[in-house]
Homo-oligomer: A and B are copies of this chain.
Amino acid sequence: MRDVANWNVPIPLLNKQATLHDVARAAGVSKSTVSLVLQGRSSVSAKTRDQVLAAIESTGYVYNRKAAALRQAQRNDLIGVIVNELNTPYSGEVLSQIEKVCFQQNLVLMFASSSDLCEKQERLVQLYMEHKVGGFILCPAPYTDRTWLERIWSSGFPLVQIMREVSFSQLPVVIADNRQGAYEAVKHLIQLGHQKIAFVGGSEEISDYQERLAGYMTALNEAGIRVPAQYICPIPQSRQAGRDGLKTVLAYDSRISAVFCFSDLVAYGVFSMAREMGIQIGKDLAVVGFDDLEDSHITHPALTTVRVEANQYAIEAMNLLRVYQHDRQAPVVRRVVPARLIIRESCGAPQQFV
């Protein structure tokens, strides 16, 4: 033991991390006893526990979960979350809720976005498997292979799909009631007297688009309204999709009086383009969104939209994951979170609707 003069270094570095063994030595007990204290077992006498706690404090010991996890392979406090894109407000809300739930349950979240690329998604899953996560929450990328997904499950990792689903996969999923939400939105427009209703935004490869489209069609069919294929204009990039989409559908038929948007983000784009074209939202053109982002009640006019509670996703998905972690044979469920229409001003609905 010797002192090293290093006045130049502003913050001294500890030379080595203390281990259980060091703590044990400092407390004058065996490492088994320290382990018992750390696990809060009652079989330790108050006196030795205090000694051990003091030793932990004085050595600056930090528990090593890697070593612990190696021994007891069953316990695991890691959750791998893979969403399509982080940098979109709705994913942010969902992720933020998942994070909240994880924190409450003392779980640690490993997260990344697949950018809707299967290849990236596969690499991420592989990486998380190597880290031995206790389960996956996954928003599957378009064209995700069903058998690949099932292989994850069968090789021992519980998995819950979220927001989207891979068709025919026998795996649990938490998904919004896209069809019903879209149906109600479009029915609302029809009730307000609209006949020429476009559907703008979204991309055809993902399940939620298909479902919202189905809801849109159902509402129109019920009312006996037929729409030309050109009224339906899927474009992936949300805000820009709204701008381009509105232009496109109006170019096809300038009598279109209402637009059902795939998402609120698309609706913002529609707002933007409408203003440029001198169209007044809520008067000349009715607009409905989907998601109910935080900004949607302060847009002008306030956006009528379909709300899907982001925290429902998070809570249901985490609950399900817990179930499968404890019982891999538990029945596979498909949980639907409700979607409900929030009527504001962008459809020019009269006050009594609100």
The listed residue (B13, B99, B132) touching A86 by CB distance below 8 A is B99
Look across to chain B and name the residue whose beta carbon is closest to the beta carbon of A300: B275
- List residues of chain B with CB within 8 A of the CB of A93: 87
Q: What is the CB-to-nearest-CB distance from A289 to chain B, in angstroms, rounded to a whole number?
A: 13
A179-215 interface code vs B (CB 8 A; 1 in, 0 out): 0000000000000000000000000000000000000
In the assembled complex, the Cα of A246 lies from the Cα of B191 at a distance in Å of 38
Q: B109 near A112 (CB under 8 angstroms)? A: yes
A55-72 interface code vs B (CB 8 A; 1 in, 0 out): 000001011111101100
Q: A60 near B155 (CB under 8 angstroms)? A: yes
A239-281 interface code vs B (CB 8 A; 1 in, 0 out): 1000100000000000000000000000011011001000000
The listed residue (B85, B156, B272) touching A13 by CB distance below 8 A is B156
In the assembled complex, the Cα of A9 lies from the Cα of B113 at a distance in Å of 31
The listed residue (B12, B128, B239) touching A154 by CB distance below 8 A is B12
Q: What is the CB-to-nearest-CB distance from A336 to chain B, in angstroms, rounded to a whole number?
A: 20
A63-91 interface code vs B (CB 8 A; 1 in, 0 out): 11111011000000000000001110100
Q: B96 near A66 (CB under 8 angstroms)? A: no
Q: B130 near A64 (CB under 8 angstroms)? A: yes
In the assembled complex, the Cα of A102 lies from the Cα of B64 at a distance in Å of 23
Query: Is A44 on the interface with B (CB-CB < 8 A)?
Result: no
Q: B153 near A11 (CB under 8 angstroms)? A: yes
- List residues of chain B with CB within 8 A of the CB of A89: 89, 92
In the assembled complex, the Cα of A62 lies from the Cα of B157 at a distance in Å of 12
Q: What is the CB-to-nearest-CB distance from A153 to chain B, in angstroms, rounded to a whole number?
A: 5
In the assembled complex, the Cα of A272 lies from the Cα of B131 at a distance in Å of 46
Q: List 15 A-B contacts (CB under 8 A).
A: A11-B154, A62-B130, A62-B155, A66-B66, A66-B132, A85-B96, A87-B96, A99-B112, A102-B112, A103-B120, A108-B128, A239-B298, A268-B298, A272-B298, A300-B300
Interface residues of A (CB under 8 A from B): 9-14, 17, 60, 62-67, 69-70, 85-87, 89, 92-93, 95-96, 99, 102-103, 106, 108-113, 120, 124, 126-132, 150, 153-156, 170-171, 239, 243, 268-269, 271-272, 275, 294-295, 298-300, 328-329, 332
